[in-house]
């Protein structure tokens, strides 16, 4: 018993636990910028689906839509995963609605693009 106590006393300074740094906790409204957005465009009439990658400032044409992206952001690793992108969508055909606003990956129903032919969803940021 004395030998065990002596061994523990000798080991105490060397066996002391090292301090663990506090975890980094991001503010709930933190978003991290990314360099591209991946968007899925569904044509509801002919059931074609196209996935495109948009970079800030560039315009990509998908059928009659012109899509451009101003920014794409994701949540930090310590917050629930989500992505958002600011998209501008114009239809080249007359009398069809356009869109200029934010789209959330996890809340596609908040997308206010009400188009009779197309559905646009954010797949994520790259």
pLDDT given for residue 114 in this prediction: 85
| CB proximity list for 30: less than 8 A, separation 6 or greater | 75, 76, 79
The pTM of the full predicted model, rounded to 2 decimals, is: 0.78
Give me the helices (H) in 57-101, please.
none
Is the predicted pLDDT of residue 21 greater than 90, yes or no?
A: no
Q: Distance (Å, rounded) from C-alpha 39 to C-alpha 72?
A: 11
Q: Distance (Å, rounded) from C-alpha 37 to C-alpha 72?
A: 6
Q: Where are the domains of the chain?
A: 26-125
pLDDT given for residue 17 in this prediction: 73
């Amino acid at each position: 018993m004395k030998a065990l106590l002596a061994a523990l006393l000798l080991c105490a300074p060397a066996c002391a636990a090292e301090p663990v740094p506090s975890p980094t906790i991001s503010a709930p409204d933190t978003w991290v910028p990314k360099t591209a957005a991946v968007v899925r465009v569904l044509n509801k009439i002919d059931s074609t689906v196209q996935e495109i990658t948009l970079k800030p400032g560039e315009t990509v044409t998908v059928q009659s839509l012109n899509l451009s992206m101003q920014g794409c952001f994701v949540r930090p690793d310590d917050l629930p995963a989500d992505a958002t992108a600011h998209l501008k969508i114009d239809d080249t055909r007359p009398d069809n609605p356009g869109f200029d606003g934010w789209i959330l990956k996890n809340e596609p129903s908040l997308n206010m693009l009400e188009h009779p032919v197309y559905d646009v969803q954010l797949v994520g940021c790259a």
